[in-house]
Amino acid sequence: MDRKTLDLRLQRIEDELPKITNALFAMRITDTEQYPLNYEEVSTDAAIRAERMACSLRSLIYAANIVPKATLMKKTAQVHGITITQENGMVAITLPGLLPKKRKPGRTSFLTDPLYYALETYVAENEITKFSDCVICFSHVYDQELSANRVRDYDNMECKMIQDTIAAFLMVDDSGILCDTYHTTEPGPADCTIVTLMACGQFPEWLKTHENHR
């Protein structure tokens, strides 16, 4: 990449900084109880701008061809706090924050890129048998200290790209013939999304342990 192009891209990123600052200020002064929709709008704007900046910076790193993408994504997954665990035949994947809204171009790559490399590393280092007939459960965990008005409809969340990324490593196929999908909303200490894969026979017992989380 020539210097002129690099400077132009860096300038575009710099131009986003005051806009994010303004959005954060608006979040600070907005009453979340009285004006939940306003808070959602400004907080979403801040998040989208920050995620675009992160993706733009990643692209500049890739373009320089100095740091391998796998190395950067491994570090990004660690910073995000993406975790993958196995217990009793189930696999649980914890993602930072809530899943993005649908129809927000580019937002899923902020999560799917580091998730892909986290899964690739985990599968390489652990013995995994791909799930066939299974259930994939999305637990949408909302910060219990914030307004309940933040809770969104499940069909307004971008789950498909996350599921496709997970399926590439952990599932034989995520078609409706082999895979059932379940969503639940739970309170927690911070926003996050927990995706749990399990055999169909394990789902009733898993559901019992989550019935009182609402």
Tokens of 103: 């129809």
Q: Per-residue pLDDT tens for 4-27?
A: 888 888 888 888 899 999 989 999
Phi/psi of residue 182, each to 5°? -135, 140
Q: Per-residue pLDDT tens for 170-211?
A: 999 888 888 999 999 999 998 899 999 999 999 999 999 887
Given a cut of 90, is residue 169 above it in pLDDT?
yes
68-214 to CATH, choices 1.10.3720.10, 3.30.1330.70, 3.40.50.300, 3.40.50.720? 3.30.1330.70
Domain ranges across the chain? 1-66, 68-214
Q: What is the pLDDT of residue 63?
A: 75
SS3 139: strand
Task: Classify strands 192-199 and 90-96 as parallel, antiparallel or unpaired.
Answer: antiparallel
Q: Per-residue pLDDT tens for 100-110?
A: 777 655 556 77
SS3 82: coil
Given a cut of 70, is residue 155 above it in pLDDT?
yes
Task: Give 131's strand partners.
Answer: 171
